[in-house]
C-alpha cells in the first residue's frame, strides 16, 4: 500500500490523521505531533481522493526512508537514500524539479546543504539511468522532491497534486490581513463538536474562512458571518462567492460586544478574535474579550471554540461565566502559538 506523508499545521496532526482514516480509509502509521506531519497507508485506488482532505497542506508519496548522523560527512548517506528511492521514475522527461527540505534537530549541516546534495544526486541518477539531465526550477517545477531530515531519520517523498499548498484554497480572493488558515478553521469546527443542522456563527469572521469551511462540511447548517468592519464583510462575501457557498451564509455587520442584539441564539460559535497585536494594550484586548464572551455565553447553546494567544484570560472569563473548558490545545499560527479553547455551558 502506498505510504503518504500528510503535512498540516503543527498542533492538528491528529485531526489530519482522523480525517484521512475517514475519507481515505487510511491506516495511520505515525502522528508526528508538533511537526505538522501524519504518516498513513492508503490503498492504490484511494490515493486520488487525497485532495478531498480539508485538514492538510500537502500530501507526499513516501519513496524511501533512511538515517543520517548529524555530521557533514554523513550527507553522503542522504545521497544513497536518494539513489535507492526511485525518485527519478517520477521525473517528467526533459522536465524540471525542485528539492524542498524540512530539517528538525541538531546537525552540523544546513537545509541548503541537504538540498544541494539531493539536487546533485537526482541529476546524476537521471543522467545515468534515463539519459537526460533534468532542469532545476525552484518556482514552477514539474516534480517536487521532499526530503525530511528529522533528527537522524531521513524521509524522501514526492509531492502529489502540484505544489499549491492546499490550505491556500482557491476561494481566497479577498485576503484578510489576519486570515486564519482554512486547515485551522476546519480543525476548530471538528473540535467544536458541531453537527450538520446546527446554527454556527463566527461573530468576528474577517474574510469568512470559518463560515466557508463550515459550508463545505455541513449541508444543512445555518451559518452566520459577522464582523464590525464592513470592508471585511464585503471581502467575506467575495470569498463566499468564489467558494460557491454565498447563498449558504448570512452576513452581518455588527459588534460582537453586543452580539445578543444581532443574533438571538445559535448552537455553536467558532471564532478567531483579534490577537490584539494591532489593538495596542493587553488591557484593551481583554476588555473586548470579556464583553464578547459575556455576550456569547448568553446566546450559544452548545459550545464556544476560539483560537487565541489570550487563552489564560479567555478561560478565566469563561469559567467565571459558569462555562467549562472541555478541550485546549496549542497550535502554530504564523510565528505565534495560540491555543484553541473549546468551552461548553
Ligand atoms: C483575526 S481576524 C479574523 C480573521 C478571519 N478568521 C479570517 O480568516 O479572515 C479578527 C476580526 O475580528 C474583527 N473584530 C474585532 N473586534 C470586533 C468586534 N468587537 N466585533 C466584531 N468584529 C470584530 C476584526 O474586524 C477582524 O476582521
Cα angle 24-165-84, degrees, rounded to a multiple of 5 = 70
What is the residue range of 240's domain? 182-344
Same domain, yes or no: 207 and 59: no
Same domain, yes or no: 107 and 148: yes
Does ligand 1 have an atom closer than 6 angstroms to the CB of 125?
Answer: no
Residue-level pLDDT at 166: 63
Strand partners, 224: 201, 250
Q: In this structure, is residue 139 part of a structural domain?
A: yes
Q: In this structure, is residue 172 part of a structural domain?
A: no
Does ligand 1 have an atom closer than 6 angstroms to the CB of 227?
Answer: yes
The C-alpha atoms of residue 129 and residue 335 are separated, in whole angstroms, by 43
Q: In this structure, is residue 173 part of a structural domain?
A: no
With a cut of 60, say whether residue 274 has pLDDT above it. Answer: yes
Q: In this structure, is residue 177 part of a structural domain?
A: no
Does ligand 1 have an atom closer than 6 angstroms to the CB of 288?
Answer: yes
For residue range 112-160, what is the model confidence (pLDDT) as tens digits? 999 999 999 999 999 998 888 999 999 889 899 999 999 999 999 999 8
Residue-level pLDDT at 51: 87
Q: What is the mean pLDDT of residues 64-87?
A: 91
Residue-level pLDDT at 168: 65
Residue-level pLDDT at 165: 60
The C-alpha atoms of residue 143 and residue 96 are separated, in whole angstroms, by 7
Please answer whether residues 93 and 45 qualify as being in contact, where contact means their C-beta atoms are separated by less than 8 angstroms.
no
The C-alpha atoms of residue 269 and residue 192 are separated, in whole angstroms, by 8
Same domain, yes or no: 129 and 194: no
Residue-level pLDDT at 279: 55
Same domain, yes or no: 188 and 45: no
Residue-level pLDDT at 112: 95
228, 230, 336, best to mutate for ligand 1 pocket (most atoms within 8 Å of CB): 228
Please answer whether residues 156 and 87 qualify as being in contact, where contact means their C-beta atoms are separated by less than 8 angstroms.
yes
Provide the 10 A C-beta neighbour count for residue 248: 19
For residue range 93-106, what is the model confidence (pLDDT) as tens digits? 888 999 999 999 99
Point out the ligand 1 atom lying closest to the alpha carbon of residue 271.
6
Same domain, yes or no: 108 and 243: no
Average pLDDT of the chain, as a whole number? 93
Indicate which CATH number applies to the domain containing 296: 3.40.50.150
204, 253, 257, best to mutate for ligand 1 pocket (most atoms within 8 Å of CB): 204
For residue range 308-333, what is the model confidence (pLDDT) as tens digits? 999 999 999 999 999 999 999 999 99
In total, how many domains does the chain have? 2
Torsion of the alpha carbons at 333, 282, 302 and 197, rounded to the nearest 10? -50
How far, in Å, is the centroid of ligand 1 from the Cα of 290?
15
Same domain, yes or no: 140 and 251: no
Residue-level pLDDT at 130: 87
In this prediction, residue 275 has a pLDDT band, given cuts at 50, 70 and 90, of confident
Q: In this structure, is residue 64 part of a structural domain?
A: yes
Contacts 24+ apart (CB under 8 A), 226-229: 226/201, 226/202, 226/251, 226/252, 226/253, 226/254, 226/256, 226/259, 226/262, 226/263, 227/203, 227/253, 227/254, 228/204, 228/253, 228/254, 228/255, 228/256, 229/253
Same domain, yes or no: 144 and 14: yes
Residue-level pLDDT at 262: 97
Q: In this structure, is residue 335 part of a structural domain?
A: yes
Amino acid at each position: 500500500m502506498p505510504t503518504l506523508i500528510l503535512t498540516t499545521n503543527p498542533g492538528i496532526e491528529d485531526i489530519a490523521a482522523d480525517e484521512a482514516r475517514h475519507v481515505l480509509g487510511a491506516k495511520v502509521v505515525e502522528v508526528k505531533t508538533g511537526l505538522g506531519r501524519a504518516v498513513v497507508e492508503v490503498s492504490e485506488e484511494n490515493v486520488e481522493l487525497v485532495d478531498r482532505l480539508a485538514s492538510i497542506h500537502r500530501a507526499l508519496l513516501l519513496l524511501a526512508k533512511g538515517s543520517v548522523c548529524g555530521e557533514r560527512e554523513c550527507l553522503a548517506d542522504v545521497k544513497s537514500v536518494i539513489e535507492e528511492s526511485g525518485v527519478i521514475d517520477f521525473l517528467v522527461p526533459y522536465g524540471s524539479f525542485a528539492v524542498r527540505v524540512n530539517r528538525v534537530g541538531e546537525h552540523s549541516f544546513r537545509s541548503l546543504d541537504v538540498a544541494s546534495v539531493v539536487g546533485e544526486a537526482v541529476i546524476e541518477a537521471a543522467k545515468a539511468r534515463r539519459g537526460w539531465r533534468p532542469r532545476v526550477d525552484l518556482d514552477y517545477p514539474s516534480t517536487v522532491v521532499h526530503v525530511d531530515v528529522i533528527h537522524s531519520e531521513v524521509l524522501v517523498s514526492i509531492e502529489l497534486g502540484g505544489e499549491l499548498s492546499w490550505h491556500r484554497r482557491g476561494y481566497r480572493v479577498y485576503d484578510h490581513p489576519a486570515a486564519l488558515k482554512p486547515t485551522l478553521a476546519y480543525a476548530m469546527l471538528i473540535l467544536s463538536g458541531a453537527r450538520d443542522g446546527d446554527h454556527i456563527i463566527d461573530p468576528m469572521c474577517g474574510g469568512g474562512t470559518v463560515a466557508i469551511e463550515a459550508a463545505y462540511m455541513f449541508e444543512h447548517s445555518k451559518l452566520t458571518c459577522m464582523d464590525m468592519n464592513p470592508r471585511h464583510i464585503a471581502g467575506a462575501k467575495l470569498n463566499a462567492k468564489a467558494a460557491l457557498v454565498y447563498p449558504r451564509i448570512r452576513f452581518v455587520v455588527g459588534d460582537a460586544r453586543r452580539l445578543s442584539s444581532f443574533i438571538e441564539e445559535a448552537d455553536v460559535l467558532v471564532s478567531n478574535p483579534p490577537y490584539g497585536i494591532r489593538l495596542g494594550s493587553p488591557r484593551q484586548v481583554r476588555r473586548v474579550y470579556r464583553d464578547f464572551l459575556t455576550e456569547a455565553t448568553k446566546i450559544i447553546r452548545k459550545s464556544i471554540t476560539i483560537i487565541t494567544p489570550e487563552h489564560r484570560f479567555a478561560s478565566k472569563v469563561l469559567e467565571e461565566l459558569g462555562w467549562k473548558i472541555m478541550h485546549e490545545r496549542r497550535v502554530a499560527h504564523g510565528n505565534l502559538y495560540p491555543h484553541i479553547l473549546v468551552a461548553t455551558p
